[in-house]
Structure formats: C-alpha cells, structure tokens
Amino acid sequence: MKTSQVPSNSMLRPKQAPSTSLLQRLSDTDESALREMGRFKKLARDSFIFRAGDLCRNVYILIKGRAKIYEQSLHGKEVIMWFCFSGELFGLSEVWTGSKRNISAQACSDIEMIVIERARFREFLHLHPKVALDVIDILAGRMRVLGDMMLDLTSTDVNARLTKLLARLFQRYGRERDGRICIDIPITHQEIGDMIGCCRQTVTTALGQLRTTCGLQTGVRMLFMEVASADEAVERLIGSSMDAKSG
C-alpha cells in the first residue's frame, strides 16, 4: 500500500499560526494580575515540570528558558509535540477536568516560570473573557500545527517532513545575526528527529543534503542560512525540496 506521496509546494509550506506567547497578548493590568496570583519558580535544566500520570494542579507561564512538551510511545521513544519559550502558557489540557496528565513537560535549559493553581486560573478566565479568548486561540493554533504534523507523518517522507519543520522554525524563529538568518532557538538533531518521527542519524544525513541543495548551515545547536530574510530561507528550503522531487 502506498503510504507517501510527492509533496506539492502547498504541502511543504507551513500554515501560519498565531503567536503562542500569552504575555505578548495581555494588557499590563491582566499580566500583573496573573503574576500576582501565581508563584515564581526556578528549575534546572532536565528537571521535570510535570510527568504523564501526574494530577493536574497548576498551569504555567514560562518567563525565561525553554521547555519541551512530549509524549512517550509504547516503545519508550519520545515524541516532541512542541517547545515552549518565554511568554508562553502551557499545562492547559487537563485544567478543565483536573484529571491526570497525558503528556510530560521538561526543562531544556535552566528556566524561570510562574506557577498558577488550576482553580485560580479558571476563576481568572471567568472574570477576564478577553484573556479566555486568547487562550482558546493559542490552543486552536497548537491543534492546527499538531494536526498538520500528524498528516505529514502519514503522507510524506522524512525529507519532506524535515523541510516543512525547518520552514516552520525559520518562519517563527528566524532572526538576523551577523548578516545571516538563524533559527534563534537552540535545537539538537535528536530533538528534530523526535519531532518528525525519525532517528538522529537520519536527521544528520538529511541536513547534510540540505547544505548542498539550499545552503543550510549548522553550528553548535544552531541552524542558519546566508539569506536576507526568514521568508527567503523558507522559499529556498521549499524550492530545493521541489527540485529534488522533480529531478
């Protein structure tokens, strides 16, 4: 049975998603209220914020650092759903029911965050409908990205999935630095593999091919291209993948 197909330009182009930073959306008054109702907490790199199976007691706003949200397969392999960065809200899925966590959250670096009790956060949303709508929009955006990733796993090959993930990362995190556009987050080959469903060695090989076809370059936990903008990086990635498929 055929399980993959040649991706079109539109299939490789990542869907635009709204900003997932809650703090960027809040008024100064609402942000102050959220900070006051929570407690400030620091965790060291690799510490667990919560694990699958824990009861949902809190929600979290990341102030500094990076955290990964992931699930483990039956075979013990990590599947990274997304990364959280400064300003982002997470730990929401079970807030409405108070049930056990289905996924885990772990610090990828030393982090600082605000921890808000579940009941207090629910009450805050009842009293601040604009913030509640922002939270719904953030959750909907994440669902669209996860749905897109699931479709890719069943309909495209590893190279196409990698191209689309890199395009999404350049689109959202591409920043100018020293005359080149960098993905302005530290990310390892293993983490990339955990996001697109393949092993680290396959990612390393595929990144080497992209170095030849579109000029993607790698540094220590960094990816960059000698282009003028993040949009140009996205177009070059998609163009090189289409050329490879038609060649």
Q: Edge-to-edge strand order for the sheet containing 89-90?
A: 39-43, 111-117, 58-64, 89-90
Amino acid 25 reads R
pLDDT at 128: 93
Most confident of 68-82, 109-123, 148-162: 109-123
Is residue 85 within 8 A of residue 26, CB to CB? The reply is no
Fold of 22-148: Jelly Rolls (2.60.120)
Beta strands in the chain (DSSP E): 39-43, 48-50, 58-64, 67-72, 78-84, 89-90, 104-107, 111-117, 174-177, 180-183, 217-219, 222-225
| Token code pair at residue 215 | 């000029």
Which segments of 71-199 does DSSP mark as H helices, in order? 118-127, 129-155, 158-173, 189-196
* Tens of pLDDT, residues 213-223: 888 888 777 88
State the angle between helix axes of 189-196 and 200-214 in degrees (0 to 180), rounded to the nearest 10.
100
CATH topology match: 22-148 vs 157-246: no
Q: Which CATH number fits domain 157-246: 3.40.50.720, 3.40.50.10800, 1.10.10.10, 3.40.1160.10?
A: 1.10.10.10
* Tens of pLDDT, residues 163-186: 888 888 888 888 888 888 988 788
pLDDT at 150: 76
Task: List all residues 6 or more positions away from 6 whose beta carbon is below 8 Å from its beta carbon.
Answer: 245
Q: Edge-to-edge strand order for the sheet containing 104-107?
A: 48-50, 104-107, 67-72, 78-84
pLDDT at 99: 86
CA angle 138, 143, 148 (to 5 degrees): 130
At residue 1, does pLDDT exceed 60?
Answer: no
Residue 31: closest CA among 41, 22, 40: 22
Is residue 160 within 8 A of residue 242, CB to CB? The reply is no
Is residue 92 within 8 A of residue 59, CB to CB? The reply is yes
pLDDT band at 246 (very low <50, low <70, confident <90, very high): low
Locate the domains of the chain by residue range. Answer: 22-148, 157-246
